[in-house]
Amino acid sequence: MVFSSPVFLYIFFPLVWLVHSVIPQKTKNSFLMFASICFYFYGEGFFLVLMIFTISVTFFASLLITKHPKTAFWTAFAGIVINLSVLAVFKYANFFTVQINHLISGFSIRIPEVRLHLPVGISFFTFQAVSCIVDIYRNPDAEKPRFIDTALYISFFPQLIAGPILRYNNFIPQLKNRMVHYRSLLYGIKRFIYGLAKKVLIANTLAVPVDKIFIADPGSLDVLTAWTGAFLFTLQIYFDFSGYSDMAIGLGRMFGLKIPENFNYPLISRSITEFWRRWHISLSTWFRDYLYIPMGGNRKGVFRMYLALWTVFFVCGLWHGASWNFVLFGLFHGSAMILEKGGRSIGLALPGFMKRPVTFFVVMLIFVVFRSDSFSHFLSFAEAMFNPSGFNFPLYVTEMRTMAAWTAGMLFMFPLYRIFEKKLRKNSYANYFETVFLAVIFALSISHSSMMFADPFIYFRF
């Protein structure tokens, strides 16, 4: 169920929120867990069993850790392995069988390819399950886990499909005596509308020219069209994913729960390191806390630090999808970060005025790997980007709606709203203006033609 779909906007969410607001306090968590289960069942049907299995494994592993501290390590290890094994089977089984078949192609042996449906959101709720087990293992004296709390933590529908990835230690304390206050409700509505507008008015509109450019034969693209495609996709994926995160944060606030920020204007970063502190923050901090630091981080010498970075970004790329172009997406970012750190260590650094444009250029180029269907497609597309074969600006990019979308994207990749809010928060007229603005963009969003198709978010496939 897509947040921008009529089923969610007009039926599911209003009904869930109204029931949640009138039932007794002690039943709110149970009801919200039930609603989240229904939300997932609507989209994935039978594969709900898989999420319930993940919840059960996580809960019983957590319970055993608190009850039997002497075997806590092996219990945590088993719980993590089981959860990650489920993810590996459904997401990577076919990828690895294809790679093995390539390696043994000279022999008469061939492993049958396994084509399994990839359950929506499995990467996100699996990482939350791992977070739950690790956090309880690190703090076994904490309050014993409850099944309802664990189930709601893993299945909470606002962020179930595409994050932000929640931390167990941050989420569970909020479940006690949570209240939906008037200001929290208004903030949640505002945040949801901004996220909806990002998705429907900007990302979905930019998807049309982006798809045309990337589906075309790269050999037929002139240099200006290729760069236009790379630039527009960078805007599209940012507003698509940050729009989902905004909606998730807004929905959480409307139920009295704070979901952490996931984006902080990453496209104006001054380095790749800063980019990953601003982009998909919940994922980058997850890898930092559960993989990079346990591997030694920057505490055990330069070689171990670089090895940890490469490992983190290799896994990060593979987490995004079972394809070599996603692996390369991660490794390119890891290599760029290592080059940055190495350059700074010997006194090499870009002049200040070049840092933002160079970082944006690198990020945009690496996103071409992300969008390409294969590595060969990326190479052909990159060749078009650096082959000055012509400068024919594609006419469909100049259509009024498309121009409005990429113009808005260029403006709002900068923290204009933050500046507006800071300077005018004490001005009552500014509040009226924002209320009118929210009403207008909400009306435009729900009347947008793409609403009829309820385009899924890009990160739904991860």
- The answer to whether residues 179 and 265 touch, using CB atoms and an 8 Å cutoff, is no
**Cα four-point dihedral sign 80, 83, 86, 92:** negative
**Residue 54 · residue 44 · CB < 8 Å:** no
Closest CA to 60 of 156, 125, 157, 129: 129
- Are residues 394 and 209 in contact, defined by beta-carbon separation less than 8 angstroms? yes
Looking at this protein, which amino acid is placed at residue 59? Answer: F
Max intra-chain CA distance, the chain: 77
Distance CA 85, CA 104 (A): 24
- Helix 223-254 and helix 400-412, axial crossing angle in degrees, nearest 10: 70
Residue-wise DSSP of 292-357: ITTTTTTSS-HHHHHHHHHHHHHHHHHHH-SSHHHHHHHHHHHHHHHHHHHHHHTT----HHHHHH
Nearest to 152, CA basis, from 174, 135, 133 = 174
Element (H, E) at 422: helix 416-424
Spatial contact of 322 and 94, defined as CB atoms under 8 Å apart: yes
CB 164 within 8 A of CB 259: yes
Q: Which residues have a catalytic role annotated?
A: 320
Evaluated on CA atoms 289, 291, 292, 297, the torsion sign reads positive
CA geometry: angle at 223 spanning 221 and 225, to 5°?
60
**Whole-number Å distance between alpha carbons of 417 and 191:** 12
Report which DSSP code applies to 398.
G
SS3 31: helix
DSSP letter at 281? Answer: H
C-alpha Rg value of the chain to the nearest Å: 23
Element (H, E) at 285: helix 281-287
Cis peptide, bond prior to residue 164, ω within 30 of zero: yes
